[in-house]
Amino acid sequence: MFRVKCFSIRRLYTQIAMLASLLAVGSAASAATSERFEHDHGTVRLLSGGATAGGGETLDLGLQFLMKPGWKVYWRSPGDAGFPPEVNWTGSMNFADAKMAWPAPERFSVLNLETLGYKKEVVFPITASVLEPGNAVVLKARVRFLTCNDICVPYEANFTLNLPAGADINTPQLGTIQRWRAKVPASGDRAPLSIDRAEVAGSGKTTALLVRVAGSDVLKSPDLYVEGPADYGFAKPVVRIASTGNEALMRIDVQPPNRPDARLAGETVTLTVVDGDLAVEQKVTLRRAESVAAASSGGDAIGYGFLAILGLAILGGLILNLMPCVLPVLSIKLLSVVGHGGEAPSRVRAGFLASAAGIVACFLLLGTVAVALQSAGLAAGWGIQFQQPAFLAFMVAVITLFALNMWGLFEIRLPGAVSDATVYASGHGGSGFCGHFMSGAFATLLATPCTAPFLGTAVGFALSSGTVEIYAVFLALGIGLALPWIAVAAFPVLVKRLPKPGSWMLTLKRILSITLIGTALWLLSVLWFQIGGAATTMIALLMVAIAFTVWQCRYLTERARFATWVVISLLTAISMVGADSFADAERDLLVAAEDETWRKFDLAAIDAEISRGNTVLVDVTADWCLTCQVNKSLVLNRGQVAEILVAGSVIAMKADWTKPDPVVTAYLKSYGRFGIPFNVVYGPTVPRGVPLPEILTESAVLAAFEQAGGKKALARR
């Protein structure tokens, strides 16, 4: 009986002791949280992960903000407005210092202002150091912060937290602090994301920051926050995610300070990349991009291996055979085929290989020009030679001579030494091989005003890379364009069933020469818009003079014919110099006023229209771009797309690249493009734009209008 009573008393005593211990811990835990500072838009308080000072040299603290719906506080770099919370620890006892960590923020875009911060709740983890471990700590914190919604209200709050001496006792708040500490961007090898490259491209208002990011998993919607020199502004990044999904290229437009010594290259900045729950923070010293063309760094080519890029280049060159720019030289292709009818397979093979060699050689020449332009610090692009009136005048002269040759007014005869070498190489009368080579080169030059699917990706990769990559990609493009010739050379029996050359070819030549005359007239129309009607008429008269000189050549002696070619060379040179001298003159417009449907390209106006809830279509075009004209005639100027544009449901903007324009060039580079056509649709849901394919379709354009989310465009649908 006595033993039972003793056991019951002992058990009761143990339970009372446990209850007292729990009450003490609860009291200490309650004491480890400061009183709340309540204001009209939320509450703030100071948290402690321990109920006592413990025996360590540091304390786990947290500054907790709870905001009402719509209100926010700011990150350490708030962006275009605001200021972050600031903590002053003056008056604290047994306290050395404190370091506050910043969880990854979210971006707020309002009226073209970019700010970074937090809504609903945020806890800033704080690591505080004590002077005397094991002794009591008194924390006094004065917090200044700004909370914003439609308006901004600054506040100041004072907190006191007493942590008595004693063994370590964790509080429930420790879990909250640790949960938010896990949201702080990682760094070093443990980071789930990596920043592989950070470069500065461009200068002045076209300065841009290029950052390549890689992740161990598929990227979803990465964002980048830049903390750099205080007088620089950094826009929201344009993000291109690679086809592999785990790499992305981010381009951030930079607003430099208005001073001549402003240089971002060489500066050290802090880059924070956030993708959902993943975040990384890294300090990097920016370096200058290797070339001006690297301003886009081939955004569409991210994630492709070099061999894949070469494959795309070959495919793009092959598709280029079907583009409208190559159609004017179908006469040359057709004559190249029928000219071999009935010939021996070895001669057919040699002729078509000569044409393929001309194509490849011309592409390598274009690659050399691109390398030279980049070395000189100038912009290189696909088809930019058609922006030069002197080049257009030269092409008109060459096409005129080709047409006259097809008409039978003269025959191109090689000098004796060249002819003998060709005969020796072929084992036959091979003087025509030079003509096949030149026809291939000529077809390449006339193909450059067009772009094709995959070609833009390959050219963008090449022009944003080094010399080796440029030559390799341009070589692959040449092989792609030459594939039809190479196929015939590999299987010369394909032309065995063609009729043998005869007098009927003279009639065919005269008919096909009309296509070349049409090409010459098209180039003259491009010149008309570049240098005006009077200057273009003068060049057209010089072409007539060339034709008259060739016509008279047949009545001259063999010796006098040399003088004829001197005259033709002089007339060509005069036309080139004359066209170039009028390059900066006012354009003689065919119409008195601009088309009311299409506004002039204005990047600032795009942002203004988006803020009003409108949809904007930007068409980067040129008079010399045949693919652009086909897109207009088949899609933009007809059907439902034309109805929407004429009605003003979508704002239509025209960026004219007929003549060199640094603004349009920089705009193309911002999307990793070096050629046209290029079309982008903007709207409230896609403020950074939706690029359209090179070859437009009505369904693709209408789908982009709907995706943009503009209220007028949607109402129209």
Helices 533-553 + 389-406 axis angle, to 10: 30
SS3 annotation, 110-162: ECCEEEEEEECEEEEEEEEECCCCCCCEEEEEEEEEEEECCCEEEEEEEEEEE
6 versus 182: the higher-pLDDT residue is: 182
| Cβ proximity of 208 and 252 under 8 Å | yes
| Token code pair at residue 585 | 């003159």
CATH of domain 188-289: 2.60.40.10
pLDDT for residue 132: 92
Q: With b meaning 16 or more CB within 10 Å and e meaning fewer, what string describes 156-179? A: ebebebebeebeeebbebbebbee
346 versus 289: the higher-pLDDT residue is: 346
Which residues neighbour 214 within 8 Å (Cβ) at sequence distance 6 or greater?
193, 194, 196, 246, 247, 248
| Token code pair at residue 215 | 């992740």
* Phi, psi at 221, each rounded to 5°: -145, 70
Ranges 414-418, 527-531, 692-696: which has the least confidence: 414-418
C-alpha 81/C-alpha 419 separation (Å) is 75
* Phi, psi at 208, each rounded to 5°: -145, 150
Which residues neighbour 717 within 8 Å (Cβ) at sequence distance 6 or greater?
702, 705, 706
| Cβ proximity of 101 and 126 under 8 Å | yes
Mean pLDDT estimate for the chain: 77
Q: What is the mean pLDDT of residues 164-174?
A: 89
* Phi, psi at 634, each rounded to 5°: -95, -25
Looking at residue 632, what DSSP letter applies? I
| Token code pair at residue 272 | 């924070």
pLDDT for residue 339: 58
3-class SS of residue 230: coil
SS3 annotation, 480-508: HHHHHHHHHHHCHHHHCCCCCCCCHHHHH
pLDDT for residue 65: 97
pLDDT for residue 517: 80
Report for 1-10, 411-420, 559-568: range of highest mean pLDDT: 559-568
Which residues neighbour 574 within 8 Å (Cβ) at sequence distance 6 or greater?
542
CATH of domain 28-181: 2.60.40
Residue 71: Cβ within 10 Å count: 21
Ranges 76-90, 272-286, 331-345, 688-702: which has the least confidence: 331-345
Banded model confidence at residue 649, pLDDT cuts 50, 70, 90: confident
For β-strands 615-621 and 650-656, DSSP reports them as parallel
598-716 and 28-181 share a CATH fold: no
C-alpha 194/C-alpha 334 separation (Å) is 54
Nearest Cα residue to 550 out of 572, 525, 579:
572
Burial of 671 (0-12, 13-18, 19+ CB in 10 A): buried
**Cis before residue 677, ω within 30 degrees of 0?**
yes
Percentage of the chain exceeding pLDDT 70? 72
Q: What is the mean pLDDT of residues 442-463?
A: 68
SS3 annotation, 357-413: HHHHHHHHHHHHHHHHHHHCCCCCCCCHHHHCHHHHHHHHHHHHHHHHHHCCCCCCC
pLDDT for residue 355: 83
Whether the pLDDT of residue 53 is over 50: the answer is yes
Percentage of the chain exceeding pLDDT 90? 21
Model pLDDT for residues 310-339, shown as the tens digit of each residue:
888 888 888 877 765 555 555 565 566 665
C-alpha 493/C-alpha 342 separation (Å) is 10
3-class SS of residue 222: coil
User: Could you write out the DSSP letters of every residue in 320-370?
Assistant: HTTSTTTGGGHHHHHHHHHTTTT--HHHHHHHHHHHHHHHHHHHHHHHHHH
pLDDT for residue 459: 73
Helix (H) or strand (E) holding 688: strand 686-691
| Cβ proximity of 130 and 58 under 8 Å | yes
CA atoms within 13 A on the CB side of 381: 31
Angle at 177 between CA 195 and CA 227, to 5 degrees: 30
Q: What is the mean pLDDT of residues 655-669?
A: 81
CA atoms within 13 A on the CB side of 584: 1
Ranges 238-242, 484-488, 604-608: which has the least confidence: 238-242
- Domain 598-716 of CATH type 3.40.30.10: yes
Looking at residue 643, what DSSP letter applies? H
Burial of 498 (0-12, 13-18, 19+ CB in 10 A): middle
Q: What is the mean pLDDT of residues 456-464?
A: 66
Give the start-to-end residue ranges of the domains of the chain. 28-181, 188-289, 306-581, 598-716
| Cβ proximity of 292 and 473 under 8 Å | no
Whether the pLDDT of residue 515 is over 60: the answer is yes
C-alpha 637/C-alpha 224 separation (Å) is 39
